[in-house]
Amino acid sequence: MPCYPGDPGFKMSLACSFPLIAAGSAPAPGCTSCTSSETDQPDPHMVVRVHALSFGTHTGTHIDAPYHFFPSGPKLHDIPLSQFVGRAVILDVRHLARDRGKISWADVTNGSGTGVAGALSRIGSRAEDKADIVLLWTGWDVHWDTPTYFLHPYFARDVATALYGLGAKIVGVDVLNPDETPADENAETEHGWGMHETLLGRGVLICENLKGLGELVGTGGEGEETWVSLMPLSVHDADGAPVRAYGWKQPLVSR
């Protein structure tokens, strides 16, 4: 994209969200699936087309507001738009990803993921020019639209506690659910909803079903930083909504 002479340039990555109307866009077991159909044309000579959409708020790549779990929590329209766009840190936990495997904070910090130690040091307040959007890169998005996608790894409650303590305002994952997904809609999970309860209960948003996070890792030099937009649909009184997620690399600006 052209920039004004002298202004920092940037490099756009591939989109980080799955298409809303596509195979595999169904949300968690028991939730509403997504359908699309063309409406009837009132006049056969008209050339316009209009589609009717029907889907749940947690379909495809989407964001959870605190109201999703807490009746008195902020709804989607209560959250400032600025919170959905900002610097991001990507934590590489691909080496920990296995079918229905639980990932603890000790696993994250003691593992061999790419640049984890340096990434952790960049999480913090925007007032300190740090990143308050944290993306957990499991690589599980390669299983999208397969039964294996529902067998995703998940995160222990202490991961949520640690990320909140570091200053995260949004935690994104490239899996269906940062918590364990039940085998079917009537089943119970062994480990509950620790990530959702801890993060949403403290006002930290959750973005699920991201993809292509590797496109934002290792593509720039030391003088670049990662930015993402996780802007949701504008739905009033909602507990969440689909997002069109994308990210880019941007040169660091001296202050």
Closest CA to 214 of 141, 110, 161, 137: 137
Q: Rg of the chain's alpha carbons, rounded to an integer?
A: 19
Residue 148, SS3?
helix
Residue by residue, pLDDT tens for the chain (255 residues) are: 333 334 444 344 445 677 765 544 555 555 556 565 666 666 677 677 777 888 889 989 999 999 999 999 999 999 999 999 999 999 999 999 999 999 999 999 986 666 788 899 999 999 999 999 999 999 999 999 999 999 999 999 999 999 999 999 999 999 999 999 987 666 666 778 999 999 999 999 999 999 999 999 864 456 889 999 999 999 999 999 999 999 999 888 765
Q: Where are the beta strands (DSSP E) in the chain?
A: 11-15, 35-38, 51-54, 62-64, 85-92, 102-103, 133-137, 154-155, 170-173, 205-208, 224-229, 240-242, 246-251
Domain segments of the chain as ranges: 11-251
Predicted TM-score (pTM) of this structure: 0.85
Residue 228, SS3?
strand
Residue 112 phi, psi dihedral angles, 5° rounding: -110, 25
Alpha carbon distance 112, 92 (integer Å): 9
Q: Reply yes or no on domain 11-251 having CATH 1.10.3720.10.
A: no
